[in-house]
Homo-oligomer: A and B are copies of this chain.
């Protein structure tokens, strides 16, 4: 494991960091394959856009340098996940802040999860009781305020269940605790709107903007209800680390791993080798 704090090797941040004090920051979780950061442009694009929304002035050139440095310094085999946290630095006590720079925290680590076997065999899902609060002002961003996801993930201990689906407080299916969800219905892809809450994942974006068009699959973003999940022909979840993973069971419903999911998996593999 290697870590960089603002370009300097280190593991510790000030207890006055606003990321800790108020969740005043953002993060990215990036897959590293053969020493290369996958979908890096999309990750940095999302980070930059969210920084704009929150008025966090991160030095993107310095961040790019950090990323190069940490990847070069590490052993390729210990180098599978890069986590980047950007915070609005340290500050006086109080919610107000003076315009300034941002802290860049990078951490490179290995993972013990066998993504290949998840992708091959599929996973089981449940519905979570913990709901996502609706606030368009924060929707879509991968900000540091993630207590809802923590509480949702704490709902189950059955290790045969890989992921939980979260509804928003109006009953719409929004996302998995740590992934996005896609429905395949009549050959079309449908994934939930993330304009009221949820994290707009980079893999979701890559599927919508690049993989689906390339494969001439119609894809739409819509309000999704639990019945749409139950009636789906195929279901899959995705994120930057797991890639595209088929869903074989959701609550009491069994799903077949279908041709569209397999087609997308092959296309993703051809493009990214994940």
Verify B109–A93 contact, CB threshold 8 A.
yes
Verify A144–B107 contact, CB threshold 8 A.
no
Residues of B within 8 A of A85 (CB): 15, 20-21
Q: Is A256 an interface residue (CB 8 A)?
A: no
Verify A15–B11 contact, CB threshold 8 A.
yes
Q: Is A169 an interface residue (CB 8 A)?
A: yes
Q: Is A191 an interface residue (CB 8 A)?
A: no
Q: Is A17 an interface residue (CB 8 A)?
A: yes
> Once bound together, how far apart are the Cα atoms of A12 and B12, in whole Å?
6
Q: Is A54 an interface residue (CB 8 A)?
A: yes
Q: Is A273 an interface residue (CB 8 A)?
A: no
User: Size range of the interface on A?
Assistant: 35 or more
Contact of A137 among B130, B138, B177 (CB under 8 A): B130
Verify B144–A138 contact, CB threshold 8 A.
no
> Once bound together, how far apart are the Cα atoms of A54 and B152, in whole Å?
11
Known: A12-B15, A19-B20. 11 other contacts (CB 8 A): A12-B14, A17-B20, A22-B149, A23-B144, A23-B147, A94-B178, A133-B133, A133-B134, A135-B148, A137-B151, A145-B146
Give A residues with C-beta under 8 Å from B. 3, 5, 11-24, 27, 29, 54-55, 81, 83, 85, 87-88, 93-97, 105, 107, 109, 111, 130-135, 137-138, 143-154, 169, 177-178, 197
